Structure 1
Amino acid sequence: MTPYSLHRGTAPLLISLPHNGSVIPDEIAARMKRPARRSPDTDWHVGELYDFAKGMGASIIRPVVSRYVVDLNRPSDGHALYPGKKETGLVPTIMFDGHDIYRGGAEPDGAEVLDRVKHWWKPYHRALAEELARLKAQHGHAVLWDGHSIRSHVPMLFEGKLPDFNLGTADGVSCSTELQAKVAAILASQSDYSFAVNGRFKGGYITRNYGRPEDGIDAIQLELSQITYMDEDSFEYLPKHAARVQVLISDMLNACLTARS
């Protein structure tokens, strides 16, 4: 099974969609509880949501497997992203609703975790790093946009309703002050959606690891509330809702493309 798909663009913009995959290999699914086999915590439809960006010249990288196989937005050594707060980890054993992923005694051991990192995590990150290097070499700079989505209510992770748009720049470390201000200003200029900057979601491993504005690579994570573009219960994609969201995303991506011009 191919670990990822990569569309190579011509602009200095790489869109990473690390939780878009939903495939769970049969040998892993056989040990899971039935609800987990559906991979409900997938970032549903973000591939479709961002497909328009190919027309802007963006590169797009997407995984095949579910985050339940291995979470590509976590460090490969398993260190916590948000110390002191509950999170699901590198190879999750619980879902966002707190229920177990695996049947009792069927959880992956340390050797299996390492194997999943080798076969799924490392190829994705190798390809991501190589594509960023290619774009920087060609343009002198590059922007990495890490696209995510999540249910609007996840009590295990946060209280109440999540803002619609959640920008993360590792508290301003992963991208330039100017670019963060431009992107945030776009969200502040509209009144249809709520938003936060470096709130509950400050950017995961990908944003924090690859964002080096001083070296010409800016990285921003967008955690989008799924209620803005899909039905959270049926997982149905809602094109009319999505089209409105895409207008804002397009404006933010254009800001990224002109940030250093």
Structure 2
Amino acid sequence: MNPETAFTRQDPSGHPVPLVLDSPHSGTRYPADFSPALSLEKLRQAEDSYVDELYASAPGHGATLISALFPRSYIDPNRSVLDIDTALIDAPWPGPAQASRKTELGIGLIWRILDTGEPIYTRKLTVAEVKRRITQFHQPYQKAVKDALDAAHAHFGAVWHINCHSMPAVSSNISEEGPGKSRSDFVLGDRDGTTCSPEFTALVATTLRGLGYDVKVNDPYKGVELVRAFSDPAAGRHSLQIEVNRRLYMDERTRTRSSGFETLRANLDRMVKAVADYAREHGSHVCAPGHDHHHEHGPDCGHDHHHDHDHSGHSHGHHKH
């Protein structure tokens, strides 16, 4: 597969703001070389189904939206490339490997099991196929997110990033908090205040609570690789993970959208608009003359931002795929 098939990128259709959303786990294109032992129906349990659709209106508010097309059960773009389960490979891994708690649970870079505990493979993977998954899917996706964040930061002096996920209504056997726990409507994760300003987390929490939702912060999800790798609040790079409860919009058994889907999508549109307004205001503030960072941005800093083609990914031929 070509890297173009790893993700879609939708650039702003509205006035561009320094806001990037990414949906790493909503992909449904299962590569032909996957060769799992489980049925597609079972593998789909790992998908954050329809999350890309829930946030589809974001470009209309000036945001960039990046969505993975491949499934996380094939390779997980929200993991470090080092998070390799060497026991799953048929030969010594030739590069560095640093297994995390996720790999211990069986859900590292390459998943060994589903949340149910069922093994995905009855075989070992070759070094070559793991490398191919990294170079054709994992790296292009992470690069797309990084490129979008870097471009917005260079243009506006700051950037806000929402990493979009969905969660089962009830915790599974491999959940850190143990099985059978009911989840709140939303869980926001900023890795205990390290990936974004407290103000940004509070804005999203307050907006969602104002829409009638129960919101928890860093409980039980704190955020994983994408918010960790690309955030630097002191430098104006703010990343927040958002988990939405699947019971709000789908039937987890049949994986079909429920009657609540459109209501949730409309409310997420309101939340994204609030964040876009915030990013527009605060991005231009950071870019104002006399700010500590203004020297990084050149003579255009502080001008209007209609030159969105400068950072809209014009070299990406795959926006519409």
User: 1:4: which partner in 2?
Assistant: 7
Counterpart in the other structure of 1:231: 251
Q: Hey, what does 1:21 align to over in structure 2?
A: 27
The answer for the alignment partner of 1:98 in structure 2 is 117
Q: Mapping of 1:21-170 within 5 angstroms?
A: 21-29=27-35, 31-34=36-39, 38-78=43-83, 79=98, 82=101, 86=105, 88-102=107-121, 104=122, 106-156=123-173, 157=175, 158=177, 159=179, 160-170=181-191
Distance across 2 between alignment mates of 1:55 and 1:26: 34
Contact 1:36 1:101 in 2 (8 A): no
CA offset digits 1:100-153 (Å, max 9, x no partner): 111x2x232444323211111111111111111111122221111100012212
Q: Which of 233, 246, 265 is matched with 1:246 structurally?
A: 265
Number of aligned residue pairs: 256
Q: Following the alignment from structure 1 to structure 2, what is the Cα–Cα distance between the partners of residues 37 and 85?
A: 21
Q: What corresponds to 1:211 in structure 2? A: 231
Q: Compute the displacement of 1:82 (Å).
A: 4.7
88-97 vs 4-13, which deviates more?
4-13
- 2:201 — aligned with what? 180
**C-alpha displacement of 1:38:** 4.2
SS at match of 2:264: helix
Letter in 1 for 2:187: N
Cα deviation for residue 195 of structure 1 reads 1.9
Amino acid in structure 2 at the alignment position of 1:39 = R
Partner AA of 1:230 in structure 2? M
TM-align CA RMSD: 2.1
Which one-letter code corresponds to 1:142 in the other structure? Answer: V
Q: Which deviates further from its counterpart, 248-257 or 216-225?
A: 248-257
Equivalent pair of 2:106/2:113 in contact (CA under 8 Å): no
Listed one character per residue, the Cα deviations across residues 35-60 of structure 1 (whole Å, up to 9, x for unaligned) are: 56643210101111111112111111
Q: Distance in 2 between matches of 1:99 and 1:138?
A: 46
**Could you report, residue by residue, the CA deviation over 1:185-204 in whole angstroms, capped at 9, with x for unpaired residues?**
2233354x322101111011
Matches of 1:92 and 1:45, distance apart in 2: 21
Shift, 1:17, TM fit: 0.4
Name structure 2 gaps, 5 residues minimum: 84-97, 286-321
What is the alpha-carbon distance in structure 1 between the residues aligned to residue 40 and residue 154 of structure 2?
A: 45
CA drift of 1:216 comes to 1.3
> Aligned with 1:252: secondary structure?
helix
User: 2:214 is matched by which residue type in structure 1?
Assistant: S
- C-alpha separation between the residues in 1 aligned to 2:230 and 2:144? 13
> Cα gap change, 1:176/1:82 in structure 2, threshold over 3 Å: closer, same or farther?
farther
Mapped contact 2:48–2:167 kept (Cα < 8 A): yes
SS at match of 1:60: strand
Deviation at 1:34, TM superposition (A): 2.0
Q: Secondary structure at the match of 1:27?
A: coil
Q: Call closer, same or farther: CA 1:56–1:20 in 2, change over 3 Å.
A: same
Structure 2-normalised TM-score? 0.74
Shift in Å at residue 256 of structure 1? 2.6
| Distance (whole Å) between structure 2 residues aligned to residue 84 and residue 121 of structure 1 | 16
> In structure 2, what is the Cα distance between the partners aligned to 1:214 and 1:54?
26
